[in-house]
Amino acid sequence: MKFRKGFTLVELLIVVLILGALAAIALPRIMGSATNAKINACKTNVDLINSQIEMYYATNGAWPVLLTDVTNDPNYFPDGPPTCPVDSSAYIYNAGTKRVADHVH
């Protein structure tokens, strides 16, 4: 009697189930990591904008009236104004504190 080499249907089914279980565990972690990276990039943008506002004050001797005074100036942001990577919204300048506040995500 000859024995055929190969996998049975049951063995293949078990492998597919194991791979499915591993994917079910890994995907939420990967998606969560992407969200955390975007939130951290948003916080970095806020810090960068605030430091450029300080630079504007040091250069001009006055605080900017509008955020666009800084973000649209190619001396401060040569690539254009940053946007939030989480929800693509614009940052809001508080003229009282002279700062851009963190977004609530």
Residue 31: per-residue pLDDT? 79
In-domain check, residue 1: no
In-domain check, residue 87: yes
Structural domain containing residue 33? 9-100
In-domain check, residue 105: no
Q: What is the pLDDT of residues 54-66, one digit of tens each?
A: 999 999 999 999 9
Coil/strand/helix, residue 99 = strand
Domains: count for the chain: 1
Long-range own/partner contacts, residues 96-99 (CB < 8 A, 24 or more apart): 98/53, 98/57, 98/63, 99/50, 99/53
User: What is the distance between the alpha carbons of residues 41 and 101, in angstroms, rounded to a whole number?
Assistant: 14
pTM: predicted TM-score of the whole model, two decimal places: 0.71
In-domain check, residue 78: yes
In-domain check, residue 4: no
Residue 105 reports pLDDT greater than 70: no
Residue 91: per-residue pLDDT? 92
In-domain check, residue 73: yes
Residue 68: per-residue pLDDT? 94
Instruction: Tokens for 87, please give them.
Output: 């929800």
In-domain check, residue 52: yes
Cα-flanking dihedrals φ and ψ of residue 56, to 5°? -60, -45
